[in-house]
Structure 1
Amino acid sequence: MIPTTPVAVKDGIANPAPLGLCAFGMTTVLLNLHNAGFFEINSMILVMGIFYGGLAQVIAGIIEAKKNNTFGLTAFTSYGFFWLSLVGLMVMPKLGWATKPSEGAMCAYLAMWGIFTLFLFFGTLKLNRALQIVFATLVVLFFLLAAEHGTGNEAIGKFAGYEGIICGASAIYAGMANVLNEVYGKTVLPLG
């Protein structure tokens, strides 16, 4: 006789959220250290934007799709491609492949990302406080950067840099909380 007791089956796929959150967070902190005036745009930021902020988040998003997580898929792949597109906007004009975007074009680009992020923020209201903080601060960051490009006021950009450091640090916290809570099998760092 075959037993009829249900058996729980685990999907066997690791949680990709820590990878995506840390990739987003670390790259965001580094770019916003530049925005706050600590150092110039350099290859370190561009390389992080391509490989960690860009490709690692796209990979995390693809794994989220495998886990049937539409929010994770949408967020991680979108922000991964945001980083790749941002690096493209910086590098392509230097290579002579396109003209440098105008301040108005950058304002529109950043405002669109702000609107997109605002919609995702509403999705976090069904998730945890840590993600709510990440997305809320990211909405503010995108609109501050759009305002800087729209007005030409560099002081807004510098303020955005400090706010962006907070945003990135909150994403790193959320990513590491996921890792440590899973490793220890209990709440080491609360997510709220």
Structure 2
Amino acid sequence: MIPTTPAPVVVKDGIANPAPLGLCAFGMTTVLLNIHNAGFFELNTMILAMGIFYGGLAQVIAGIIEAKKNNTFGLTAFTSYGFFWLSLVGLMVMPKLGWGSKPTEGAMCAYLGIWGFFTFCLFFATLKLNRALQFVFASLTILFGLLVWGDATGSQSIKHLAGYEGIVCGLSAIYTGIAGVMNEVYGKEVLPVGTVK
């Protein structure tokens, strides 16, 4: 019998789908930060490095590729959240380098609140995409709301609740990203994402 090789994945426009990269980068970084928020370990360089290199740079790269694919939603979401992670690391590191003062709780509420509003707006675009993305963006909107509430009140229990909710949000993004890979590689729906009709 002659050995056969698996059929290559056909990419219609010659550019691979960057969405799984962006979703996994967002999801994995979100899970790790929120394990910290849930109180399991202290903020450390592992989270900061993920925020810079995977949550940050990988998502920006995914967004740029989405622009080449003429996907405005992917461009806007991935580049924005990539720079969110980079700016969040900047907020943590810059004061330690003497580049300005540490943001107050009020400033963090404004920062997280505007990102929550942005996410809420993008959620409405997901209503034309699929159920998995709807869940990611809905749960991310809730996460930002809980983080604002936690900073506004200083309540550790609310911050821990936000951490658990953030773990769910991050896992949903990882699932959606892996579903994109698996469904494309196998040429059929292996992991359902709830396609909108």
Which residue of structure 2 lines up, in the alignment, with residue 113 of structure 1? 115
Q: Which of 62, 65, 73 is the matching residue for 1:63?
A: 65
- Asked whether 1:93 is paired with 2:95, we answer yes
Which residue of structure 1 lines up, in the alignment, with residue 131 of structure 2? 129
Distance 1:122 1:12 in 2: 29
Distance 2:128 2:109 in 1: 30
Deviation at 1:162, TM superposition (A): 0.1
Q: TM-score, normalised by structure 2?
A: 0.92
Matching of residues 2-151 of structure 1 within 5 Å:
10-151=12-153
Distance 2:129 2:171 in 1: 19
**Residue type matched to 1:62 in 2?**
I
Distance 1:64 1:146 in 2: 30
Percent of pairs identical after alignment?
A: 80
**Residue type matched to 2:131 in 1?**
R
Deviation at 1:10, TM superposition (A): 2.8
Q: TM-score, normalised by structure 1?
A: 0.95
Unaligned regions of 5+ residues in structure 2, if any? 1-10
Q: How many residues align?
A: 184
Distance 1:98 1:44 in 2: 23
Deviation at 1:11, TM superposition (A): 1.3
Unaligned regions of 5+ residues in structure 1, if any? 1-8
Taking only aligned residues, the RMSD between alpha carbons, in angstroms, comes to 0.8
**Residue type matched to 2:193 in 1?**
L
Which residue of structure 1 lines up, in the alignment, with residue 4 of structure 2? none
